[in-house]
Structure 1
């Protein structure tokens, strides 16, 4: 029991000393960072530059003269970003003497190359009308549908496309029905059918019997 009380008393005396030493170490690592951000070509102060500690949700902005101030720790990494300029980073040295540090950060313009633009003279009225009439305007969906539903186009599609399942089954059933209808008797000859002759003449005029390449 006496040993326990002695140990508790010893820890109670040493705890404030350890906390004080830890506080002094943390206090020594705090740095008040001052600085100014300027353009590298004209040494002009940049207002509104983002000054942010990396991997932390803390930061600040430069004022109208490009000056800023922020509390950091030794060894922190500071990121400087501004639209139109290349981002920069600064590492706070770990061997700083004291608790203040100042820097002058120069920002370089980030050059962006845009694609070339060709400027042509405004065409005359006659030239515009000629080019407008000669322009090849692609057909829209309505015009394509109108072209595909034309009579000549429908005939070409009927001759080139194969039959589907419904058409094949209907053709087989019709042939079977005709076979059963004329079962046991002679079928009529279309050579004496005026309707068949009319269809033959119309097909001949359309060129249905011409050889196709």
Structure 2
């Protein structure tokens, strides 16, 4: 008799629970998700009901709409924000629920990480010293042409300009005019003239 009473009690309890679940109202849950500053919306926020495995996402304006039951636990999650939770309260008259959800920023500071392609500092220095720049050949040619010896040879082999040629021709013409119309100079003090004179006397002998 005891077992029959216990079994009847459990059956009554299950029926009561089922009856309570059946009386739960379906509510159209709508709202807008904002950021921590309450001025900018958060599009693409996941609105998820773990109990039923259903969910939706907010549109570009942060708006969402999803049917839920009384007592459902709603999870709001978005990249860069902390998760927010909301439990659907009991509704007697209204069949819709409108809310505004504000998500808090989830800021994480990572530790500084140094990335080095070489295992030791000495290997890095050797690679840096032996490294050639993309324009290394052009720089080598510039340094070679700026060498003092190369510059001196280039200066000695450079041709005369048109202005220098004109001055040389005018100087030759002026000297020719002087030699032609000027009186002969006194050659008594000219050693080359005396040498020519002595050589001419020796040839006559």
Q: What TM-score, normalized to structure 1?
A: 0.42
Indicate the structure (1 or 2) with the bigger Cα radius of gyration.
Answer: 2
